[in-house]
Amino acid sequence: METYDIAIIGTGSGNTILDDRFGEKRVAICEQGTFGGTCLNVGCIPTKMFVYAAEVAQTIRDAARFGIDAHVDRVRWDDIVSRVFGRIDPIGVSGEDYRSSEPNIDVYKQHTRFGPVQHDGRYLLRTDAGDEFTADQVVIAAGARAVVPPAILECGARYHTSDTIMRISELPEHLVIVGGGFVAAEFAHIFSSLGSRVTLVVRGSALLRHCDDVLCKRFTRIVANKWELHTHRNVVGAENRGSGVAVHLDDGRTLHADALLVATGRVSNADQLDLEQAGVAVEDGLVVVDQYQRTTARGIFALGDVSSPYQLKHVANHEARVVQHNLLRDWDDTEAMAVTDHRYVPSAVFTDPQIASVGLTENEAIAQGFKISTKIQDYGDVAYGWAMEDTTGIVKLVAERGTGRLLGAHIMGHQASSIIQPLIQAMSFGLTAPQMARGQYWIHPALAEVVENALLGLR
């Protein structure tokens, strides 16, 4: 039986751990899917490449109001797909080839689970192909998978998830999306901008309910003008109708579509690994880790979506750097270990309008007992926003009254994911709103002035 110093389950952020410092270690890498994980293959990267194409199409359609006559003659869906995956697919192949070529690394291309802990304390791992090997240390970076409600899963109708929708053979004339979160909002933007009619079925009253209430309600109101929304609704069944699908709602209505996308969230793969065999605790479906990314089993670390509620690539990358450092330290020497910092975790939704957030929403700040000051600043009130004739973009800041400490920042509008970055920096390094507003120059007439004005407006 092969024995390794380290076994890594998953090749998303887990694959970034290995560098020259691990050159003398025998390493097993276990990957049942495509090298590179969710972000590279079916998540952040390909979706943003589709988003960019969608934004180009939308810009052309909006050009007339700026005195430019232009129109979209045709959307070549095949060429869009080829552009995206013609660039992405070779990365996974080359990544696997590279790891396989390293003399100290063996790659196992099957699903891998834990077996009983061995008498010498090493961890037994078993692949679906029947291979068995042991490791002194293990990194669990097995990610998450799409959730499909039973009403759809069990009915036999054709459906897609975010894992498959980007590779469909043709652009659907009508796409029904079940879900109201960030995945649903991004794909609704992509397909509607490229010419599909889009219908969303949402359980609640609004889209993006994780956002601050002001952004959530405004966003829902804006997109209701371009997407068909069925709020307070559940899918009770679906069936194939010719080449399309019929989606049945709980109010008795039936939606007829060319394709069905299920975007109802993702769940950790912790339940796929037989973790109890190794003594790794799981809580609420997530692998339990401490601030050093250690699990409850000595020598086993976890990172990313398998253990994190954030399900964000930049969080997984941060945790991977912590694990990378700590793997080379004694398990009990916490003073020498790196610590994860999840104080201010930003997120963005690449839809239209774009949304970015960090920190507490207004309601969360109040619930935590803060006395707060808030400010909502319109994009159109600063020079660049006015030049763009922007009527929907806003910056909302939440600060502690009296101290000026920023508690949360929430932006909806053009390049929200970029202009929020100085606010993330301010919160991370403890700068107050007055320090941020007056302690530096703000370029005029850059769009970032909307952040400056929002900071100045806090009382």
Q: Residue 444 catalytic?
A: yes
Query: What value does the mean pLDDT take over residues 47-74?
Result: 98
- Residue 253 burial (CB count, 10 A): 11
User: Pick from 127, 134, 130: which is nearest to 113 by CA?
Assistant: 127
Is 184 annotated in some ligand binding site?
Answer: yes
Q: What is the pLDDT at residue 112? A: 99
HSE-CB at 33 with a 13 A cutoff on CA atoms is: 20
User: Pick from 277, 305, 282: which is nearest to 295 by CA?
Assistant: 282
Is 183 annotated in some ligand binding site?
Answer: yes
Is 186 annotated in some ligand binding site?
Answer: yes
The per-residue pLDDT for range 392-448, each reduced to its tens digit, is 999 999 999 999 999 999 999 999 999 999 999 999 999 999 999 999 999 999 999
What is the distance between the alpha carbons of residues 235 and 237, in angstroms, rounded to a whole number? Answer: 6
**Residue 459: is its pLDDT beyond 90?**
no
> What are the DSSP calls for 157-180, one per residue?
---B-TTTGGG-SS--SEEEEE--
The per-residue pLDDT for range 123-148, each reduced to its tens digit, is 999 999 999 999 999 999 999 999 99
Those residues whose C-beta lies under 8 Å from the C-beta of residue 169, and which sit 6 or more positions away, are none
Q: What is the pLDDT at residue 151? A: 96
Placement of tokens 């007992």 in the chain: 369
Q: Does residue 445 have a cis peptide bond before it, meaning omega lies within 30 degrees of 0?
A: yes
The one catalytic residue among 210, 256, 342, 444: 444
**Residue 154: is its pLDDT beyond 90?**
yes
pTM of the model: 0.97
Is 109 annotated in some ligand binding site?
Answer: no
Residue ranges of domains in the chain, CATH in brackets: 2-146+267-336 (3.50.50.60), 150-264 (3.50.50.60), 353-456 (3.30.390.30)
Is 381 annotated in some ligand binding site?
Answer: no
The per-residue pLDDT for range 18-38, each reduced to its tens digit, is 999 999 999 999 999 999 999
Q: What is the pLDDT at residue 348? A: 99
Is 22 annotated in some ligand binding site?
Answer: no
Is 48 annotated in some ligand binding site?
Answer: yes
Q: pLDDT-derived band of residue 158, with 50, 70 and 90 as boundaries?
A: very high
Of how many residues is the chain composed? Answer: 459
β partners of residue 442:
none
The beta-carbon contacts of 56-65 under 8 Å, at least 24 apart in sequence, are 57/193, 57/194, 57/195, 58/193, 58/352, 65/389
Q: What is the dihedral of CA 407, 424, 180, 379, to 10 degrees?
A: 90
Task: Kindly report the backbone phi and psi dihedral angles of residue 111, in degrees, each rounded to the nearest multiple of 5, phi listed first.
Answer: -60, 140
Is 182 annotated in some ligand binding site?
Answer: yes
**Residue 350: is its pLDDT beyond 90?**
yes
